[in-house]
Amino acid sequence: MTGRPAVLLDRDGTLTEPRHHPSRPDDLILRPGVGEPLRSLNALGVALVVVTNQSGMARGLFGRTQLDAMHQRLTELLTGQGVILAGILDCPHHPDGVVPELSVVCACRKPAPGMLLRAARQHGLDLRSSWMVGDFDSDVEAGRRAGCRTALVRADTAEGHGPPPAGPPEFRAASTERVLSHILGWYRAGERP
Protein backbone atom coordinates (compact mmCIF):
# COMPACT_ATOMS: atom_id res chain seq x y z
CA MET A 1 0.00 0.00 0.00
CA THR A 2 1.28 3.45 -0.83
CA GLY A 3 0.16 6.47 1.08
CA ARG A 4 1.30 8.98 3.60
CA PRO A 5 2.94 8.11 6.90
CA ALA A 6 1.03 8.52 10.13
CA VAL A 7 1.41 8.52 13.86
CA LEU A 8 -1.52 6.61 15.31
CA LEU A 9 -2.11 7.67 18.89
CA ASP A 10 -3.93 6.06 21.77
CA ARG A 11 -5.96 8.65 23.68
CA ASP A 12 -6.21 8.01 27.43
CA GLY A 13 -2.82 7.87 29.14
CA THR A 14 -0.96 8.63 25.92
CA LEU A 15 -2.28 11.81 24.33
CA THR A 16 -4.27 12.82 27.42
CA GLU A 17 -3.67 12.33 31.13
CA PRO A 18 -4.71 8.90 32.38
CA ARG A 19 -8.27 8.73 33.68
CA HIS A 20 -10.34 5.63 34.37
CA HIS A 21 -13.20 5.71 31.83
CA PRO A 22 -13.37 9.49 31.36
CA SER A 23 -16.93 10.45 30.45
CA ARG A 24 -16.93 14.27 30.25
CA PRO A 25 -15.04 16.61 27.92
CA ASP A 26 -13.44 18.33 30.91
CA ASP A 27 -11.89 14.99 31.92
CA LEU A 28 -9.50 15.27 28.97
CA ILE A 29 -6.24 17.07 29.72
CA LEU A 30 -3.36 16.95 27.22
CA ARG A 31 -0.13 15.32 28.37
CA PRO A 32 2.67 17.85 28.93
CA GLY A 33 4.81 18.82 25.96
CA VAL A 34 2.86 17.04 23.21
CA GLY A 35 1.99 20.15 21.20
CA GLU A 36 5.40 20.98 19.77
CA PRO A 37 6.35 17.54 18.39
CA LEU A 38 2.82 17.00 17.05
CA ARG A 39 2.93 20.37 15.23
CA SER A 40 6.31 19.43 13.78
CA LEU A 41 4.96 16.07 12.61
CA ASN A 42 2.05 17.92 10.94
CA ALA A 43 4.57 20.19 9.21
CA LEU A 44 6.38 17.14 7.80
CA GLY A 45 3.11 15.85 6.30
CA VAL A 46 2.69 13.03 8.83
CA ALA A 47 -0.98 12.32 9.49
CA LEU A 48 -2.07 12.21 13.13
CA VAL A 49 -4.91 9.80 13.92
CA VAL A 50 -6.31 8.91 17.33
CA VAL A 51 -7.30 5.24 17.73
CA THR A 52 -8.92 4.61 21.10
CA ASN A 53 -10.65 1.74 22.88
CA GLN A 54 -13.71 3.18 24.62
CA SER A 55 -15.28 0.25 26.46
CA GLY A 56 -17.13 2.73 28.70
CA MET A 57 -19.83 2.70 26.02
CA ALA A 58 -20.27 -1.08 26.21
CA ARG A 59 -20.20 -0.80 30.02
CA GLY A 60 -23.02 1.77 29.94
CA LEU A 61 -20.89 4.53 31.48
CA PHE A 62 -21.51 6.98 28.63
CA GLY A 63 -23.15 7.08 25.22
CA ARG A 64 -22.16 8.12 21.71
CA THR A 65 -23.20 11.75 22.28
CA GLN A 66 -20.87 12.04 25.28
CA LEU A 67 -18.01 10.34 23.44
CA ASP A 68 -18.46 12.63 20.45
CA ALA A 69 -18.34 15.63 22.81
CA MET A 70 -15.05 14.31 24.24
CA HIS A 71 -13.66 13.90 20.71
CA GLN A 72 -14.70 17.47 19.94
CA ARG A 73 -12.95 18.68 23.11
CA LEU A 74 -9.78 16.77 22.20
CA THR A 75 -9.82 18.31 18.72
CA GLU A 76 -10.23 21.79 20.25
CA LEU A 77 -7.39 21.23 22.75
CA LEU A 78 -5.05 20.14 19.96
CA THR A 79 -6.15 22.91 17.60
CA GLY A 80 -5.31 25.34 20.39
CA GLN A 81 -1.77 23.92 20.26
CA GLY A 82 -1.66 24.33 16.45
CA VAL A 83 -2.12 20.58 15.88
CA ILE A 84 -4.43 19.15 13.21
CA LEU A 85 -5.80 15.63 13.55
CA ALA A 86 -6.60 13.67 10.41
CA GLY A 87 -9.20 11.71 12.38
CA ILE A 88 -10.37 10.00 15.54
CA LEU A 89 -11.48 6.38 15.49
CA ASP A 90 -12.90 4.53 18.47
CA CYS A 91 -13.93 1.04 19.46
CA PRO A 92 -17.01 1.06 21.74
CA HIS A 93 -17.03 -2.73 22.23
CA HIS A 94 -16.18 -4.99 25.15
CA PRO A 95 -17.26 -8.62 25.57
CA ASP A 96 -18.04 -8.00 29.27
CA GLY A 97 -20.21 -4.95 28.62
CA VAL A 98 -23.83 -4.45 29.63
CA VAL A 99 -25.08 -2.83 26.40
CA PRO A 100 -26.04 -5.90 24.33
CA GLU A 101 -25.18 -4.54 20.86
CA LEU A 102 -21.74 -3.43 22.07
CA SER A 103 -20.96 -6.45 24.25
CA VAL A 104 -19.20 -8.40 21.53
CA VAL A 105 -15.79 -9.63 20.50
CA CYS A 106 -14.83 -7.41 17.58
CA ALA A 107 -12.00 -6.84 15.12
CA CYS A 108 -11.46 -3.22 16.17
CA ARG A 109 -10.68 -3.41 19.90
CA LYS A 110 -6.93 -3.20 20.42
CA PRO A 111 -4.89 -5.45 20.41
CA ALA A 112 -6.82 -6.29 17.21
CA PRO A 113 -5.63 -4.07 14.33
CA GLY A 114 -9.08 -3.15 13.00
CA MET A 115 -9.05 0.56 13.86
CA LEU A 116 -5.56 0.99 12.41
CA LEU A 117 -6.52 -0.78 9.19
CA ARG A 118 -9.67 1.33 8.92
CA ALA A 119 -7.63 4.51 9.51
CA ALA A 120 -5.31 3.46 6.68
CA ARG A 121 -8.23 2.98 4.30
CA GLN A 122 -10.04 6.18 5.31
CA HIS A 123 -6.99 8.45 5.29
CA GLY A 124 -4.73 6.89 2.65
CA LEU A 125 -2.02 5.85 5.10
CA ASP A 126 1.04 3.69 4.55
CA LEU A 127 1.13 1.65 7.76
CA ARG A 128 4.64 0.33 7.04
CA SER A 129 5.98 3.88 7.38
CA SER A 130 3.75 4.69 10.34
CA TRP A 131 4.01 4.45 14.12
CA MET A 132 1.49 3.29 16.73
CA VAL A 133 1.99 5.05 20.08
CA GLY A 134 0.29 3.89 23.25
CA ASP A 135 0.67 3.20 26.94
CA PHE A 136 -0.49 -0.43 27.01
CA ASP A 137 0.79 -3.68 25.56
CA SER A 138 -2.48 -3.91 23.59
CA ASP A 139 -1.49 -0.72 21.72
CA VAL A 140 1.90 -2.18 20.83
CA GLU A 141 0.34 -5.44 19.67
CA ALA A 142 -2.28 -3.65 17.53
CA GLY A 143 0.49 -1.68 15.86
CA ARG A 144 2.57 -4.79 15.31
CA ARG A 145 -0.39 -6.66 13.77
CA ALA A 146 -1.11 -3.70 11.46
CA GLY A 147 2.51 -3.56 10.27
CA CYS A 148 3.47 -0.32 12.04
CA ARG A 149 6.50 0.57 14.08
CA THR A 150 5.51 0.79 17.73
CA ALA A 151 6.32 2.97 20.72
CA LEU A 152 5.31 2.45 24.33
CA VAL A 153 4.77 5.31 26.77
CA ARG A 154 5.49 3.75 30.14
CA ALA A 155 8.17 4.31 32.74
CA ASP A 156 7.77 1.13 34.72
CA THR A 157 8.28 -2.45 33.65
CA ALA A 158 4.86 -3.63 34.82
CA GLU A 159 2.71 -5.44 32.32
CA GLY A 160 0.04 -3.43 30.58
CA HIS A 161 -3.52 -4.29 29.66
CA GLY A 162 -4.10 -7.14 27.26
CA PRO A 163 -1.90 -10.05 26.33
CA PRO A 164 1.79 -9.26 26.03
CA PRO A 165 2.80 -8.22 22.53
CA ALA A 166 4.55 -10.75 20.35
CA GLY A 167 7.59 -8.48 20.30
CA PRO A 168 8.90 -5.44 22.13
CA PRO A 169 8.16 -1.93 20.88
CA GLU A 170 10.78 -0.25 18.69
CA PHE A 171 10.98 2.56 21.24
CA ARG A 172 9.95 3.08 24.84
CA ALA A 173 10.06 6.16 27.07
CA ALA A 174 8.44 7.47 30.21
CA SER A 175 6.68 10.40 28.52
CA THR A 176 4.62 10.92 25.39
CA GLU A 177 6.68 14.02 24.63
CA ARG A 178 9.88 11.96 24.56
CA VAL A 179 8.32 9.26 22.38
CA LEU A 180 7.00 11.84 19.90
CA SER A 181 10.36 13.63 19.81
CA HIS A 182 12.05 10.31 18.96
CA ILE A 183 9.54 9.64 16.16
CA LEU A 184 9.97 13.18 14.84
CA GLY A 185 13.73 12.64 14.68
CA TRP A 186 13.16 9.34 12.87
CA TYR A 187 11.04 11.05 10.20
CA ARG A 188 13.45 14.00 9.88
CA ALA A 189 16.29 11.56 9.28
CA GLY A 190 14.28 10.26 6.32
CA GLU A 191 14.02 6.75 7.70
CA ARG A 192 11.50 4.54 6.00
CA PRO A 193 11.11 0.76 5.89
Tell me whether residue 106 is annotated as binding.
yes
Question: What number is the average pLDDT over the span 123-135?
Answer: 97
What pLDDT does residue 161 have?
54
Active site residue 96: no
Question: How does residue 138 score in pLDDT terms, banded at 50, 70 and 90?
Answer: very high
Tell me whether residue 12 is annotated as binding.
yes
Question: How does residue 139 score in pLDDT terms, banded at 50, 70 and 90?
Answer: very high
Domain 6-188, CATH class in plain words:
alpha beta
State the amino acid at position 114 in one-letter form: G
Question: What number is the average pLDDT over the span 5-21?
Answer: 94
Tell me whether residue 90 is annotated as binding.
no
Q: Please tell me the distance from the alpha carbon of residue 47 to that of residue 129, in angstroms, as a whole number.
A: 11
Question: What number is the average pLDDT over the span 137-165?
Answer: 82
Structural domain boundaries in the chain = 6-188
The active-site residue, picked from 10, 90, 137, 139, is 10
Query: Mean of the per-residue pLDDT values for the chain?
Result: 93
The active-site residue, picked from 12, 90, 126, 139, is 12
Percent of the chain with pLDDT over 90: 87
Q: pLDDT tens digits, residue range 41-66? A: 999 999 999 999 999 999 999 999 99
Active site residue 27: no
Q: pLDDT tens digits, residue range 74-91? A: 999 999 999 999 999 999
The least confident of 130-134, 151-155, 160-164 is: 160-164
Tell me whether residue 156 is annotated as binding.
no
What angle (nearest 5°) sits at the alpha carbon of residue 42, between those of residues 36 and 47? 130
